[in-house]
Amino acid sequence: MKRNVICIFSLVLWCLLGCTVLSEKIEEQMTVSNVEVELEETYLEGGVVQMTLPGDCLISDENGLHLYRMEKGEGWDTGNRLREIEPEMYWYGEKQNMIIYSSGYAGDRFVRYVSRPVAEGELAQICFPRAGGEDCYLVVNPGDVDTSLEIWETASVTEEQEGMLLVTLNGKQPFLESQARSELGFARDSRVYSLGDIRNFFGSFPLLAGIAAVFLGTVLLWGYSLVLVKDLRKNRWRLLAHGVTGIVLFGVFTKLVERIQLPSSLLPSKNILNMEYYAEEFGVVFRELEKFSADAAQETLRAFSVNAALAGGVFLGGTALILVVIFLEKRGVERVETGSSSKKEGKPL
């Protein structure tokens, strides 16, 4: 009984360490990247001074428009946190595309662009998007596009469908949807997707499958160890080998987790495992991309198929490898035991 408890405890310890590695990675991935802007003094007629912010500081979601600033967290909420400003503290002039703030000082900083949907209290970090090479944006419901903006000197519409555009340009990294929407002059309720980010997201499928395979393989190995531990004296070297293998598998698990870099623009708010969000977002992406014949759209669709197939192969292959190792080990031991038994029977009394 004690031996079983020790074996189970070692598996629980492996899982706890694995969860710690995963939780740190999830926190890193779910940290919101944002661009800040300073509160400015605007002088009106009669010498009146107003504190203003650009209109694109307002972040829209299903609950309306929100204005955030980044503050130091307290207690359990350590790190930089997003704090929503009360609506009565500001007024938005849609015609001027300007926010008039009721108090504060010039230089006070507010969030202007964010990398994904956000909520009160989420971890955030300042980023500085820079040119990241050619990219293609899928734009849904762009509205009346202001092509007089400076960015359209280098950006171009690759293909157009009803209510949708494919725009090729020298994109910025990290990609911030709200920044792309503002700089390209799309409507506030439009959706902008970076096809480069989408392909990178699909490219993480094999790594995620590898993590799942390592975890399942570890469980299978420990399950077999529970059988072997019943005869500890006979199987001590095999159990030692299983322990070393478990440590090696944990190292592989850690390396795979470290390599995962999911694009923030495609992650949900608060819960990285919100499958309903992914189904809705990628349902829109697939449905709209299938209407385009441009190479960028077709390449993105192929990237999903290729990486999904690779992920399936990695998961099945990794799991099968552990099962084959267990089977060969079992057969090898049985042969050794059979040979030893035969030799003993052949010896003269």
> b or e along 313-328 (b: 16 or more beta carbons within 10 Å of the residue's beta carbon)?
ebbeebbeebeebbee
Residue 333, in any domain of the structure: yes
93 contacts 133 by C-beta, under 8 angstroms: no
Task: Count Cβ atoms below 10 Å from residue 306 Cβ, excluding itself.
Answer: 14
Same domain, yes or no: 219 and 297: yes
16 contacts 65 by C-beta, under 8 angstroms: no
**pLDDT greater than 70 at residue 344:** no
Alpha helices by DSSP H, the chain? 2-30, 177-184, 195-203, 205-228, 232-259, 275-289, 295-346
Same domain, yes or no: 170 and 78: no
Same domain, yes or no: 137 and 77: no
Residue 265, in any domain of the structure: no
Same domain, yes or no: 224 and 139: no
For the chain, give the percent of residues with pLDDT over 70: 93
Q: Which H or E run includes 31?
A: none
Query: Across all residues in the chain, what is the average pLDDT?
Result: 89
Tell me the per-residue pLDDT of 175-224, one tens digit each, with 9 for 90 and over. Answer: 999 999 999 999 989 999 999 999 999 999 999 999 999 999 999 998 88
Same domain, yes or no: 59 and 183: no
> Would you mind telling me the total number of residues written for the chain in this entry?
349
Same domain, yes or no: 51 and 108: yes
Residue ending a domain, choose from 104, 122, 140: 122
Residue 282, in any domain of the structure: no
239 contacts 228 by C-beta, under 8 angstroms: yes
User: Structural domain tally of the chain?
Assistant: 3
255 contacts 187 by C-beta, under 8 angstroms: no
Least Cα distance to 16 among 250, 214, 260 occurs for 250
Residue 149, in any domain of the structure: yes
Domain range for residue 254?
A: 2-26+205-260+293-340
pTM of the model: 0.88
Predicted confidence at residue 191, as pLDDT, reads 95
Tell me the per-residue pLDDT of 1-27, one tens digit each, with 9 for 90 and over. Answer: 666 777 788 889 999 999 999 999 999
**pLDDT greater than 60 at residue 346:** no
Q: Name residue 100's beta-bridge partners.
A: 52, 91
Predicted confidence at residue 349, as pLDDT, reads 45
